[in-house]
Chains A and B, each alone.
Chain A
Amino acid sequence: MNQFIEWVSQPWPWYVAGPLIGLTVPTLLLLGNKTFGVSSSLRHACAICVPSGIPFFTYNWRKEMWNLMFVLGVLIGGFIATQFLANPDDFILADQTKADLIALGITDFSGLLPSDIFSWSTLFSAKGLLFFVFGGFLVGFGTRYAGGCTSGHAIMGISSLQWPSLLATIFFMIGGLVMTHLLMGPLMSLVGF
């Protein structure tokens, strides 16, 4: 058992994680005819809390409660993996990425997320405004405008061979490349990195 825990605590390679994530598609379909997609949970949150009479948020969200249970599970899964199956070794990052990020002003490479950005002390600063407020807004606004995110389009949509999802995924990548290579440097120096 200890050996198993030790083995499972190592970071999982892509060829283990990818197929497991892909299996979510048939699992949800066969469990109850559910279509895989995470960003819909954000829409249901709006529909439950602040529908404000907006037609886009006026639908029978009770039927979609399964989606909120699913994301609650993702949160709990994150807790379990971090508390009980955490990787005991150092986080390994590609040398070139590390060099690029040092140049941008990142100093902490000890965990999965850099504490230079992801800590409460940055929240009420220009850094927090950029990464949490602006970043979060873009994720929520963009996924809903696109009609799905990495799960709904890139995985579920392409798996069912739907070209609009492939198109959406290509633009997810273009957006990410533009942010990383063109905008991130100037934005980060603007907020004090």
Chain B
Amino acid sequence: MKVLEKNVQAEVCDAPNSQKDIEKGTELIKYMIVGILFGIVFVKAEIISWFRIQEMFRLQSFHMYGVIGSAIVTGIISIQLIKRFRIKTMSGETVKIPKKEFRKGQIIGGFIFGLGWALTGACPGPLFAQIGSGFLVVSVTLFFAIVGTWVYGKFSDKLPN
């Protein structure tokens, strides 16, 4: 029963690893390199800026809408191409995209995250890039984001879901 529970938990992980082979050590470096490129784009397009997020929520600049919108369009086209041409992963597996089931959390949790996004001027990705950019005090924000995650995990079965 315990094993089954663990499997269920692994399934609901939101950004899961669907690859069968477990990668270790140096095999993981490629993900760090993708992260580095991603972090550079975050800083250069000023997505990590608290001011840019304020502009977005005040509807006074198109920049962030352009970034998120064109990222989604690129993502849609890429996934359609992968599906259409049945492109395999580097290790020859079929690409697997987990289904996101509807939960009330997407509404309540989404709203709560939105409040925090406007305050901190950062979603989780930019938090890391802000720290790397030298705003070391943001590590306190990151710490409390981890605390928030933990508190959610602790009480998740008592919250409407």
Contact = CB atoms under 8 A, between A and B. Distances in A.
A107 B14 CA distance: 39
A8 B44 contact: yes
Query: Max chain A CB contacts within 10 Å: which of B14, B101, B130, B142?
Result: B14
A150 B65 CA distance: 12
Contacts of A13: 45, 66
A77 B113 contact: no
A168 B91 CA distance: 33
A71 B95 contact: no
A132 B145 CA distance: 9
B14 to A, nearest CB: 5
A70 to B, nearest CB: 4
A1 interface: no
Contacts of A16: 45
B66 A14 contact: yes
A73 interface: yes
Query: Does more than half of chain B's interface fall in helix, strand or loop, or is it mixed?
Result: helix
B33 A73 contact: yes
Given A23-B74, A63-B17, A140 B148 contact: yes
Contact of B132 (A40, A50, A75, A145): A75
Contacts of A85: 40, 43-44
Nearest to B10: A59
Interface string B47-62: 1111111111110111
Interface string B80-98: 0110000101110101111
Interface of B: 5-6, 9-10, 12-19, 22-24, 28-58, 60-76, 78-79, 81-82, 87, 89-91, 93, 95-103, 105-125, 127-138, 140-154, 156, 159
User: 5 smallest A-B Cβ distances: which pairs?
Assistant: A175-B114, A77-B39, A73-B35, A37-B15, A145-B109
